[in-house]
Structure 1
Amino acid sequence: MFDIPQKMTGAYLPGDSTVQFKEYDIPELKHGEVLLKTKASTICGSDIRCIYNDHVGKGPEGYQPEMIAGHEPCGQVVACGPGTRHFKEGDRVVVYHISGCGICNDCRRGYMISCTSDEHRKAYGWQRHGGMAPYIVAEEKDLVMLPDELSYSDGAQVACGFGTVYEGLEKIGISGNDAVLITGLGPVGLAAAMLCRCMGANKIIGIEAMPERIEIAKELELREGSGIKLFDAVLAAGPDNVEQVKSLTTGYGCEKSVECSANEHARLTAIRATRKWGKVVLIGEGGGMSPDFAPSSDMIHDQISVHGSWVTNIWRMEELVERLVRWNIHPADLITDRFPLENAAEAYALMASGTCGKVAVCFDEELPA
């Protein structure tokens, strides 16, 4: 049995680049719900763009006032409500960050991110309470078991971060035949490099605008102490990137490109630096396309396929967790900074600066000693 308090302090985002704290009741569990003791909650770029700086979404899609933030939580089950069928107290779990209706076509495919129900689709940290608090109520159907080989900080990045990337890479296919270009080397781009390396990519080239993130990308290894770098080359973003990439790939460009920045110039670079008959996946959200994009000469005549990819499905999350253990890699290696909940304001400000890797708010054993 776990000693569970009646109230807790949680962090919410007013939309003015600040973090506020408030006391919340820990509710009685409903049918199919579990209570998790939060262990790690990482911060996503969408948190910054759509909630922290401003409340961008409106209506059912928008951030609901004073909702506890954090849609990348991971924790331990400490109580089970009536009707739960699989998970039990003590289980270590990852949370799929959208709770869908469960019966629309998209939910039945496992893509709760695309749930069509305005009434029942609720994102953790947006329309229902998230992970920036010591406890989180989750629906059992939204959970994936976390293996003992992975830490809670690993698990926090499985759904929205690594899961989103894994989905996109599966759409275009990555193998030992491929040189891969990754544009935008924030946490999503770094996750893309880590997974591409494990999937056998022959060469990985990164492009990034922020000097701090360039240095992080250059230094990161696939496994700490392995000597295997995530990238074979890291380029500063600029007008010569297409020619630079081609010079690194015997003049042809990369077989596969992964766009993670949402920058219009990076998107054009990703397409133009892709080899004839190659494939591109657009993962970075927001932004637009460069007005210089010419579909015929940039894409159609070179037989280039461009895919859009948004988050992932829950069965692929389960598959990814198994792969992470098999490949012996740890998403937590991308975390550059950890903060306790009381310092959440510093955590969000750092993530908003764009000068870091992944930022996590941690509890208990996931905090630095």
Structure 2
Amino acid sequence: MSDIPQRMRGVYLPGDSTAVVRDVEVPEPGPGELLVRVGASGICGSDIGYIYRGYKGHRGEEGAAYRGVVAGHEPAGTVVAAGPRTRRFGAGDRILAYHIVGCGVCHNCRGGWMISCTGPARAAYGWQRDGGHADYILVDERTAIALPDELSFVDGALIACGFGTAYEGLHRLGVAGADDVVVVGLGPVGLAAGMIARGMGARRVIGIEPSAVRRGWADGLNLFDATVHPDDAAESVAQVTSGVGAQAVIDCSGSRAGRGTAIESAAEWGRVSLVGEGGTLETEVSDALLHKQLTLYASWVTSVQGMEQITADLVRWGLRPETVVSDRFDLDQADDAYRLAAGDSRGKVVLIPGYQAHD
């Protein structure tokens, strides 16, 4: 590791709506670990809601699930060193990281669902172990996914959480060419859902979003046949679908109102996928669910295999996740990046070590 620096920058989230850059040691890879030079690291809505704004807990936990580590659970980059007992990746390989390191032996881990690991050793990058908002990150090889040459590091960072989440939600709906798809909430995950629905062959894709800023950004990406305010959703969905409603609906808003809109937008015998974190679900049952014969799915991120699959599918479809990125920042600008991502950002915000904006 003689050509690797001893010190690096790492971004921490004190929980007071700030991001702090600290000078820390570059770690050395242990058994089964890879040292990765970070090429890009995304800012996720869960980081903002649960850590940046003040230790609100996660998965129903009281207090802080965040353990004061380097933040960021959406990293992609290049392996620069491999520790003992690594078997697949080595120096020079491009990878993205599935963002949970599970125990590896529980039922969920053995099926690739480290997100749902039930073992005490479960640790998420950027939450319980150092994450990707740094110049370098230690990645457990079990969580490393090969990043094809056709995709950039920014593409990989987006796959590592948001695109994996959207993919799983749509995969469970079985989206295909006969489906009209409604996406509720056009934040980064909703934008990902629009792109993936296109790749899956959806007939028409409709986006529903209250923010005019986000609707404007989405319109410029040409992923949606229509983007509308929730107040106009019923009329617009009916118009686009000839009064039938959408066969497949995914809620990415994480809000009670958004979930209600999702259920209302579904056609008879439709399928609704809930992927947005937080909030509550309140609905009338008989007319809204039973009489329409709806199927509801609740989906939490995806499996390691699912993340590998969406990576391959994006290459096959010729689609680039980085299209949904509206703003890029260097690590030294992390506070500005988080302030924007937590405010009125248009699309996805990413940190890129060494990034320099160009006019």
AA at the equivalent of 1:64: R
Alignment of 1:245-324 (within 5 A): 245-290=237-282, 293-324=283-314
Alignment of 1:29-178 (within 5 A): 29-57=29-57, 58=61, 62-65=65-68, 67-118=69-120, 120-178=121-179
Runs of 4+ in 1 over 4 A off after TM superposition: 58-61, 366-369
Superposition RMSD in Å = 1.5
CA distance in 1, matches of 2:199, 2:357: 28
Give the superposition deviation at 1:26.
2.1
**Percent of aligned pairs with the same residue?**
48
SS of structure 2 residue aligned to 1:219: helix
Aligned residues, how many?
355
CA distance in 2, matches of 1:216, 1:189: 12
Q: 2:235 aligns with which of 237, 240, 243?
A: 243
Aligned partners of 2:28 and 2:35 also within 8 Å: no
AA at the equivalent of 2:56: V
Aligned partners of 1:210 and 1:355 also within 8 Å: no
Aligned partners of 1:71 and 1:125 also within 8 Å: yes
User: Where does the alignment leave 5 or more consecutive residues of structure 1 unmatched?
Assistant: 221-228
AA at the equivalent of 2:199: C
- Equivalent residue, structure 2, for 1:360: 350
CA distance in 1, matches of 2:275, 2:166: 7
1:332 matches 2:325: no
TM-score normalized by structure 2? Answer: 0.96
* Distance change in 2, residues 1:367/1:170 (3 Å): farther
Aligned partners of 2:21 and 2:331 also within 8 Å: no
Q: 2:226 aligns with which of 233, 249, 273?
A: 233
- Equivalent residue, structure 2, for 1:194: 195
SS of structure 1 residue aligned to 2:342: helix
SS of structure 2 residue aligned to 1:49: helix
- Equivalent residue, structure 1, for 2:332: 342
- Equivalent residue, structure 2, for 1:226: none
TM-score normalized by structure 1? Answer: 0.93
Aligned partners of 1:74 and 1:152 also within 8 Å: yes
Aligned partners of 1:60 and 1:127 also within 8 Å: no
Give the superposition deviation at 1:22.
1.9
Aligned partners of 1:268 and 1:289 also within 8 Å: yes
CA distance in 2, matches of 1:3, 1:324: 34
Give the superposition deviation at 1:241.
2.1
